[in-house]
Amino acid sequence: MEKLFQLNSKKNKLKFSVIVTLKKDVLDPQGKVVQNTLANLGMDNLKSIRQGKYFEIDVEEQDQVKAEEKVNQMCEKLLVNLIIEDYKIDKVK
């Protein structure tokens, strides 16, 4: 009985990853600092580095389409500044 419950609770959870990046033409001062620091550490061959954000989101939902819609809402409401950032949602496993 307990095993069945565990199976169910596992089935109800869907995992998504969200990658948020600055749009191409937006300056990335944080990335620039990292780039300069790496150059000072002697890492040549580094052409450019840009920093973004990463989220791993567990949604309690069986239907993948609905779950993805939820994650999309979260991005638009809070996680992403749509004026300067792009985002990409992926299903994890």
Rounded CA gap, 73 and 80, in Å? Answer: 10
Q: What are phi and psi of 60, to 5 degrees?
A: -85, 95
Binders of a copy of itself among residues 21 to 80 (CB under 8 A) are 21, 31, 34, 37-38, 41, 43, 45-61, 67, 70, 73-74, 77-79
Residue 89 interacting with a copy of itself (CB under 8 A): no
Single out the residue of 16, 19, 15 nearest to residue 80, CA to CA.
Answer: 19
Based on the shown chain and the rule CB under 8 A, indicate whether residue 19 belongs to the binding site for a copy of itself. Answer: yes
> How many C-beta atoms lie closer than 10 Å to residue 51's C-beta?
14
Q: How many residues bind a copy of itself (CB under 8 A)?
A: 35
Q: Which residues bind a copy of itself (CB under 8 A)?
A: 13, 17, 19-21, 31, 34, 37-38, 41, 43, 45-61, 67, 70, 73-74, 77-79
